[in-house]
Amino acid sequence: MAGVDYLADERNKAEFDVNEMKIVWAGSRHAFELSDRISRLVASDPAFRKDNRPMLSRKELFKNTLRKTAHAWKRINELRLTEEEANKLRFYVDEPAFADLHWGMFVPAIKGQGTDEQHQKWLPLAYKMQIIGCYAQTELGHGSNVQGLETTATFDPQTDEFIIHSPTLTSSKWWPGGLGKVSTHAVVYARLITDGKDHGVHGFIVQLRSLDDHSPLPGIIVGDIGMKFGNGAYNTMDNGVLRFDHVRIPRNQMLMRVSQVTREGKYKQSNVPRQLVYGTMVYVRQVIVSDASYALSRAVCIATRYSCVRRQFGSQNGGAETQVIDYKTQQNRLFPLLASAYAFRFVSEWLKWLYTDVMQRLQANDFSTLPEAHACTAGLKSLTTSATADGIEECRKLCGGHGYLCSSGLPELFAVYVPACTYEGDNTVLLLQVARFLMKTVSQLGSGKKPVGTISYMEQAEHLMKCRCEVQRAEDWLKPSVILEVFEARATRMSVACAQNLSKFANPEEGFSELLADLVEAAIAHCQLIVVSKFIEKLRQDIPGKGVKQVLGMLCNIYALHILHKNLGDFVSTGCITSKQASLANEQLRSLYSQVRPNAVALVDSFNYTDHFLGSVLGRYDGNVYPNLYEEAWKDPLNDSVVPDGYHEYIRPILKQQLRTARL
pLDDT for 44-83, tens place per residue?
999 999 988 888 999 999 999 999 999 999 999 999 999 9
Residue 400, exposed/middle/buried by CB under 10 A (0-12, 13-18, 19+)?
middle
pLDDT at 446 over 90: no
pTM over 0.85: yes
Q: How far apart are CA 615 and CA 410, in angstroms?
A: 9
pLDDT of res. 72: 97
Of 395, 350, 273, 382, whose CA–CA distance to 532 is shortest?
350
Alpha helices in 399-547 (DSSP H): 410-417, 427-443, 461-466, 480-502, 508-514, 516-539
pLDDT band at 273 (very low <50, low <70, confident <90, very high): confident
Of 349, 348, 370, whose CA–CA distance to 359 is shortest?
370
Query: Residues of 496-528 as b/e, b for ≥16 C-beta within 10 angstroms?
Result: bbbbeebeeeeeeeebbeebeeebbbbbbbbbb
Least confident of 74-78, 86-90, 364-368, 475-479: 364-368
Q: Are 205 and 253 in contact (CB under 8 A)?
A: yes
Residue tagged active-site, from 424, 485, 488, 521: 424
Least confident of 185-194, 273-282, 471-480, 546-555: 273-282
pLDDT digits (tens, 9 = 90+) for 313-372: 987 777 889 999 999 999 999 999 999 999 999 999 999 999 999 888 888 888 888 888
Of 273, 285, 288, whose CA–CA distance to 366 is shortest?
273
**Is 177 marked as binding a ligand?**
yes
C-alpha angle with apex 112: 109 to 118, nearest 5 degrees? 80
Question: What is the chain's mean pLDDT, rounded?
Answer: 94
Of 486, 472, 475, whose CA–CA distance to 588 is shortest?
475
Alpha helices in 310-369 (DSSP H): 328-363
Listed by start position, the domains of the chain span 107-270
Q: Are 169 and 140 in contact (CB under 8 A)?
A: yes
Q: Is 254 helix (H, G, I), strand (E, B) or coil?
A: strand
pLDDT digits (tens, 9 = 90+) for 531-583: 999 999 999 999 999 999 999 999 999 999 999 999 999 999 999 999 999 99
Task: Name the more confident of 124 and 54.
Answer: 124
Count the neighbouring beta carbons within 10 Å of the beta carbon of residue 232.
23
Q: Are 27 and 290 in contact (CB under 8 A)?
A: no
pLDDT band at 451 (very low <50, low <70, confident <90, very high): very high
pLDDT of res. 183: 98
pLDDT of res. 1: 43
Alpha helices in 450-515 (DSSP H): 461-466, 480-502, 508-514
pLDDT of res. 318: 78
Segment 253-263 mean pLDDT: 94
Segment 435-450 mean pLDDT: 92
Of 35, 7, 2, whose CA–CA distance to 598 is shortest?
7
Helix axes 427-443, 480-502, angle to 10 degrees: 80
Whether 349 is catalytic: no
Segment 185-207 mean pLDDT: 96
Q: Are 337 and 299 in contact (CB under 8 A)?
A: yes
- 227 — phi, psi (to 5°)? -65, 140
pLDDT at 664 over 50: no
Segment 447-474 mean pLDDT: 94
Least confident of 6-10, 124-128, 316-320: 316-320
pLDDT at 207 over 60: yes
Segment 167-193 mean pLDDT: 97
**What architecture is domain 107-270?**
Beta Barrel (2.40)
pLDDT of res. 256: 94
Segment 435-446 mean pLDDT: 94
